[in-house]
Structure formats: C-alpha cells, structure tokens
Amino acid sequence: MKKALLIIATLFLLGNLKAINENAGTSGFSFFKVTYSARAAAMANAYTGLADQEDAVFFNPAGLTQISKPQAGATYMSYFDGVNCGSLVYTQPLQNEFYIAAFTQFLSASETKTLADANGNYAGTDG
C-alpha cells in the first residue's frame, strides 16, 4: 500500500514540474510573464524572502514553513484585450513539520479577428 501511495504521489508531483527557462520574458514579450499574486506584484516580484502566505507556492515553497493554519487563496485578473488569468491555491500544515500545497493556474485569451478588404489586404483587427 505504501509503495502504491509513493508511486501516485511521485507521478502527481512530476506532473506539476514547470519547464520554463529562467530568462523567459526578459527581452521581448515580457507581458507574458504574469504574476499571480497581488502582494508580490506590488513589491515588483521581490517576494522570495517574504513569502509567508499561501502564494509562497509560486515564489519560494520553503516559505510554507511559516504557515500555521490552513490557507486558501484565489486570484483573477482581466489582463488586457480579452486576456484573463487567475489561480487557486490551498496550503495546509501537517504534523511533524510537513506541509502540503496544491494550486492551479489558468490563462485564457479571446479570439482576435483580422479584417481584410476586397483585395485581401490587411485592414485592421476586430476584437
């Protein structure tokens, strides 16, 4: 039973690994680097050392050790021109200094239609 639980936990954790370059969004298209924490965004993302709430999951998971009771959080942001994003977070301290956290994020964009004139030339966008 323990072996099956360990395998399930390992597969669950491996499915949540992020495959992103540390320099993503630093030159062009930096608007794609979205911060899902209002508190961290207000601090210009300098939040790693202070991460002491449920949103520590996004910046410094070691900050979960400062949580003494279960916490949940939700964010939603209407970003720009039909782009919406948000997150749900739940953290819970367990016995013997163990902590568990679960989160999900979403980013959705509406369809932008490109307009063309009778000759097929670009005529702007609608949306």
Task: Give a yes or no: residue 118 inside a domain.
Answer: no
The reply to whether the predicted model has a pTM over 0.75 is no
* CB atoms near residue 51 (< 10 Å): 21
Q: Which pLDDT tens digit goes with each residue over 69-111?
A: 999 999 998 887 788 889 999 999 988 788 889 998 888 888 7
**Can you tell me the distance from the alpha carbon of 37 to that of 99, in angstroms, rounded to the nearest whole number?**
20
pLDDT at 57: 84
Q: Between 59 and 11, whose confidence is greater? A: 59
Considering the domain boundaries, does residue 117 fall inside one?
no
125 found inside a domain: no
Q: Is residue 81 part of a domain?
A: yes
Instruction: Please enumerate in sequence order all residues whose Cβ is within 8 A of that of 67, keeping only pairs 6 or more positions apart, or say none.
Output: 52, 53, 54, 56, 91, 93, 99
The CA-to-CA distance between both ends of the chain, in Å, stands at: 54
Taking only the tens place, the pLDDT of each residue in 15-71 is: 666 656 666 656 666 666 778 788 888 888 888 788 888 888 888 888 888 888 999
The number of folded domains in the chain is: 1
The residues, ordered by sequence, that sit 6+ positions from 71 with a Cβ below 8 Å of its Cβ are 53, 54, 89, 90, 91, 92
Write down the pLDDT at residue 11: 72
Range of the domain at 88: 34-111
Q: Is residue 67 part of a domain?
A: yes
